[in-house]
A and B are shown apart, each in its own frame.
Chain A
Amino acid sequence: MTTPVQAATTEVLEPAAAGSKTRGRRARVHAYQLLCVVLVLLLWGAVTVSGLFTASSLPSPASVATEWLHLLGAPVFWQAVWDTLRGALVGLLFAGAVGVPLGLVTGTYAAAELSSRILVDFLRSFPVIALLPVFLLVLGSTPEMKSTVVFIACVFPIFLQAQYGARSVPPMISETVRAYRIPRLLRYTKVVLPSATPSIMTGLRLAATTSILVAIGVEILTTLPGIGHEVTQHQQNGNSAVAFGYIFTAGLLGYGINRGSMLLESILLRWRPPAHTV
């Protein structure tokens, strides 16, 4: 096994060969990754064949794959995905619109950050989904209720990351800004916001994953349409392969959102030296 240090030194010693070498290594890594996926699928298949679980609790990978391909052609499926995504996105957008400005402003004043710390900590550790019975009573079972729950779940990670980002402005720069009497609005748009952007992006990424999770959770517990509702319906009717197809879709959504926001992050932060990744 080569350690990173050894790998680094060999690359420095042979700069000409480094390009093809890393390419070969990457191809090998991809091959191993593919092998792992195949192994997991084989293991899953073996477990279902062994009869350890009934087909209703763990369908075979082949049946899930065929059902999933069938789903791709069904308008019901796309409607469910859209319902979940819309609920998650609306909540997320509102959370960003409220959390980012509030976080930036409280982050620039130490007293505000200190005073709100315990309150925010409590609200952040609150499992928002527990508000569901109350919300069902107050707001009823509507798509707006779903977005409201998503909003509450997402606003705190975004708020905290924005606050943290605003505090990361180097003291030298904030002193300079003060010395030049830069107007407050200009200070927020040109100094605080840019230096807080990496942190805000992390917050948005966390919140994006949470938003999907919460939206599906709400759908499972209520009769609101969406991926979670479809999973419940099909599992209750004994079509566990279809239910797993929907779960797989949920996984794809989560994975896609994570990947997408990482890409967006790297594009938005291209101006920044990569040193911030510790």
Chain B
Amino acid sequence: MSRTFLVSALNQLWLPVLVIVLLWVGTAGSTNFYFPPFGDMVGAMGANLAHGGLLEDLWFSLKNILAGLGLAIVVGVLAGLIIGEHRRLRESLGPVLDFARATPTVAFVPVIILTLGIGATPKIFLIFLGSLWPILLNTISGVEGINPAVLETARSYRIPWQLRLRRVILPGATPQIVAGVRVALSVAVVLMVVSEIYGSPVGLGNFILRSGSSFAVTDTWGGTLLIGLLGYGLSVVLLAVEHVLLGWYFQRPPRVRRNTQGLALLEREALTR
């Protein structure tokens, strides 16, 4: 078991490590103004984190993402459960919701920041607005996709609605809900960056803008790297949450599951977008 784990880890890790080493060594002697040595970028990131105020920027951005996304999950899942449970409501709201999701939320950035100001609240609102639609629509289709036989059984046993919601509907829709949160997370990170570049006194987006416009290229690269790490870190955290919440889903027989986990995830994510 541990041996196969080791082999699989090595199989997955050799290329990223190789790329990092190549980047590090290959750019070490770089004198190009726009492409500083990779080691310097990492160094700039570390130095700014330690005593350059970058930690505050990181905290500001992370806080906004978590607040906006959390709010979107609460509202989206609740509304999605209600809409998904009522067929008529679901069908009638279809076009409105599809259009709302298709509207790029970034287009609202100037409107909201110019009218609501450059503080944290407009950014949380923007992130909420962008993350809401994937979560809401995925919850609806998750509820819709529950096997009718299961629902019929729950009804014929006269399961009370609280129990039905907690034990039948919610678990049945969770795989889709998590896939929606995954999509929402990437939207949230983009909105975080755009809204902070557009107008903000703090935040990671503001950091890369500030350092970029003062031609501190190494700092800009360092900040950009940190944003990438933040996005990757959040998606890894979500993957861990998914494993805890959906352990039962992955334990289904291989014939049902059809593929390895990563692919199953991607497939669901793709199907629900």
Contact = CB atoms under 8 A, between A and B. Distances in A.
Interface stretch (A185-193, A243-251, A265-273): A243-251
Interface in A121-160: 121-122, 125-134, 136-138, 160
A35 B204 CA distance: 43
B21 interface: no
B110 A129 contact: no
Interface string B90-123: 0111111011101110111111101110000000
A278 B228 CA distance: 34
B63 interface: no
Chain B interface category by residue count:
35 or more
Interface in B189-239: 189-190, 192-194, 197-198, 204-205, 208-209, 211-213, 215, 217, 220-221, 224, 227-228, 231-232, 234-235
Of the candidates A115, A118, A130, A250, the one having the most CB atoms from chain B within 10 angstroms of its own CB is A130
A161 interface: yes
B104 A133 contact: no
28 contacts: A1-B87, A33-B91, A36-B96, A111-B11, A115-B12, A115-B15, A125-B234, A126-B232, A127-B186, A127-B193, A128-B190, A129-B190, A130-B228, A134-B224, A138-B34, A216-B107, A217-B190, A217-B194, A220-B106, A220-B109, A220-B194, A220-B198, A227-B107, A236-B114, A247-B111, A250-B107, A251-B104, A254-B102
**10 shortest A-B CB distances, which residue pairs?**
A251-B103, A133-B212, A254-B102, A57-B115, A32-B92, A255-B102, A217-B106, A115-B15, A130-B227, A232-B110
Interface of B: 8, 11-16, 19, 34-35, 86-88, 91-96, 98-100, 102-104, 106-112, 114-116, 148-149, 151-152, 186, 189-190, 192-194, 197-198, 204-205, 208-209, 211-213, 215, 217, 220-221, 224, 227-228, 231-232, 234-235, 259, 262-263, 266-267, 270-271, 273
